[in-house]
Chain A
């Protein structure tokens, strides 16, 4: 819808200066976003995104926050439980862009990083990314990014299978319990290194056999107490049985 609007506006207004054409297109997108917002978000976030008893203000959160929350399906929140879960997104990518543009228009905030800013293969360093991940992320998300428990039933989700743009946005916007990682203390290059490491860990096969969840000794102990000793006791029982 928005693209159609932009396209027709361009083709019609070839004589008019580009700036006003763009502004016109943008305002159409923002208006669409506002309509979507009023319909699907304002009941919790307020008619002017000022927030309320159950949801925070969205003024100043920036397009990046909206893209992260809505494109990963966290928003709209399915139930008012402990925290928003990643799930199938309700809105299409165009609708997400419109919502993001609307919220960004309310006040300046973190912007959605462009593709040029996300070239982690070129700009990131794998080993440094691992060190940065262990320093800044592993305490919540576990050493292999599998996620971990927070207090009172909250949790840090797994970072596996998340789009690089969303990882970046999470770092700069600090969704829900996650803190913000400012660009001066964790530079954009360092953020890309972290993403590079995460993507490598995602495809790294378990080098010693089945990975048992990459959560450490708990699953290893479970395996030895079930399959392990089970196999051995099974052989022991067979050993002591009289042959036919």
Chain B
């Protein structure tokens, strides 16, 4: 035994005698993880979170979360001698007096954007492959929670420097709060410690941003990862992969090296972008005052869709018995997002209600094999995209010489008309792709090689698919619609028949697919 091995042995012994670590280390070091690039999207979010923690901690050493007024006496001449909050002044100091300060600010803000992008693409991957089905519904709900909290955390984060752009965003948030019926004005005055803008808001959101929400994030992310660990990751269908196994690489050394390496790559790419691209140049925005505004004011992208919804809202307010209800604020600002996030969180349960499928699923769906689900997803994405585009309508109008009024009307009509259109188109495309798969299995791949037969006919040679590819294209399930007869076998009428009619109708629509290749089809091909 070499000296090194002896020392390692002693250390392991020391730890194991106190914690019993050897047993669970042995089990977990060999844990198997399936390898696919689309499984790394959640990791981008996780690593961005770590980057946010590290860069954020750096920033807290210099940031002064106070709204008390100071006179700026730092390096940046265009703001010399101006009155501003200590929060704004300290952010200027971080940007111009602290070496590496601007870099860290930019890493932090770009990492936040990456964090949200990664969450969204990860959500799309999980959704379109059906990874949220049993036993992973709870993890899905945690994920939706992380998405919602991420949006709030990002908003609070870029509002901390108290600049003109983010201060305008706080004004909007204040107006939403104030518009809530009955309790709105009290909530607003309590949150802001008085009238807007007051001096209490920035210090309070500082604590929410650096302590409360990160703690909640840590807890949720830990549970999220533990569930993935315990339930084992899903895998794409393919040769050798079943509902009862996991095919992949062991944690040590392959997965550790790849996943660990990927952390450094994410950090490196984020830092690269922070080095070459400017973000949130608060010195250009100026300190916040309610009397000023910039043309083209937008929130960060992950709130852009909310801004777009608010812009396109019809000017509806009702006045009853001396009270005002601002539908033009409540509907786009609270009701629609509330419905969307609730629908998103409940989706696994909605789908299992429609399909009646209560089994465990560890094999993922290819999106084309679940046409209804994929089409609903396309619809949701279209809705959000129209809202997002409308959020930038003034920038778009300026860049492309269009009229904001026309873009607004396009969005108002488009947000109602385009999502159902997207649904229909996507569903048809999925079913066509299924048909194409079917053709591939039955007739093989087109090779582009033409052959002339003795009697003069030109045929294209088709190459038969490999057994692995054939298996991939036929191994999915097609379980027809739910059978929910109104009168069951015993002659008893099923209660709540209307709910069941709806369910049956949706189940039917959901089960519309191009039928898989059957043994009979194959026989026919072989024998003709």
Contacts and interface: CB of A to CB of B under 8 A. Distances in A.
A204 B76 CA distance: 11
Given A139-B293, A200-B78, A208-B281, A239 B37 contact: yes
Given A138-B294, A220-B301, A228 B273 contact: yes
Report the 4 A-B pairs with minimum CB-CB distance, sorted nearest first.
A148-B295, A221-B301, A208-B278, A153-B403
Contacts of A151: 403-405
B79 interface: yes
Contact of A232 (B44, B393, B398): B44
Interface string B285-317: 110000111111111110010000000000000
B57 to A, nearest CB: 20
Interface string A133-160: 0110011111110111101110110000
Nearest to B286: A134
A69 B285 CA distance: 30
Contact of B277 (A134, A155, A209, A237): A209
Given A134-B164, A212-B277, A216-B298, A143 B392 contact: no
A201 interface: yes
Given A148-B295, A148-B394, A143 B404 contact: no
Contact of A240 (B37, B78, B165, B284): B37
A207 B103 CA distance: 10
Contacts of B404: 149, 151
B269 A220 contact: no
B117 interface: yes
B135 to A, nearest CB: 25
Nearest to B40: A236
A153 B118 CA distance: 36
Contacts of B421: none
A162 to B, nearest CB: 17
B265 A149 contact: no
A64 B56 CA distance: 52
B513 to A, nearest CB: 29
Contact of A216 (B95, B262, B266, B296): B296
A141 B295 CA distance: 6
Interface residues of B, number: 69
A210 interface: yes
A130 B294 contact: no
A169 to B, nearest CB: 21
Given A216-B298, A231-B269, 13 more contacts: A127-B77, A129-B78, A130-B286, A138-B293, A141-B295, A149-B394, A155-B397, A207-B102, A208-B277, A216-B395, A220-B300, A229-B117, A235-B265
A196 to B, nearest CB: 10
Interface stretch (B106-114, B329-337, B423-431): B106-114
B258 interface: yes
A120 interface: no
B405 A143 contact: no
A218 B279 contact: no
A233 B114 contact: no
Contacts of B114: 224, 228-229, 232
Nearest to B265: A235
B262 A236 contact: yes
B405 A126 contact: no
- Most chain B Cβ neighbours within 10 Å, of A130, A141, A232: A232
A102 interface: no
B258 A152 contact: no
Nearest to B44: A232
B346 interface: no
Interface of A: 126-127, 129-131, 134-135, 138-144, 146-149, 151-153, 155-156, 197, 200-201, 204, 206-212, 214-218, 220-221, 223-225, 227-229, 231-233, 235-237, 239-240
Contact of B294 (A127, A142, A227, A235): A142
B354 to A, nearest CB: 32
Contact of A153 (B113, B284, B402): B402
- Most chain A Cβ neighbours within 10 Å, of B286, B296, B304, B393: B296
B41 interface: yes
B108 to A, nearest CB: 12
B121 interface: yes
Contacts of B164: 134, 138, 143
Contact of A217 (B44, B274, B301, B394): B301
A130 B278 contact: no
Contacts of A156: 295
28 contacts: A127-B79, A127-B82, A129-B78, A135-B292, A138-B286, A138-B295, A139-B292, A140-B295, A142-B296, A149-B398, A151-B403, A152-B403, A206-B281, A208-B278, A208-B279, A216-B294, A216-B298, A217-B165, A218-B296, A218-B395, A220-B113, A224-B301, A228-B269, A228-B273, A232-B114, A232-B265, A232-B266, A239-B258
B111 to A, nearest CB: 10
Contacts of B292: 134-135, 138-139
Nearest to A125: B81
Contacts of A218: 296, 298, 301, 304, 392, 395
A71 B39 CA distance: 60
B218 interface: no
Nearest to A214: B284
Given A135-B291, A139-B294, A143-B285, A153 B401 contact: yes
Nearest to B112: A224
Contact of B37 (A131, A210, A237): A237
A227 B296 CA distance: 23
Contacts of A228: 110, 113-114, 117, 269, 273
B295 A139 contact: yes
A127 B80 contact: yes
B464 interface: no
Contact of B298 (A147, A214, A217, A239): A217
A223 B273 contact: yes
Contacts of B277: 208-210, 212, 220, 223
A140 B296 CA distance: 9
Nearest to B166: A217
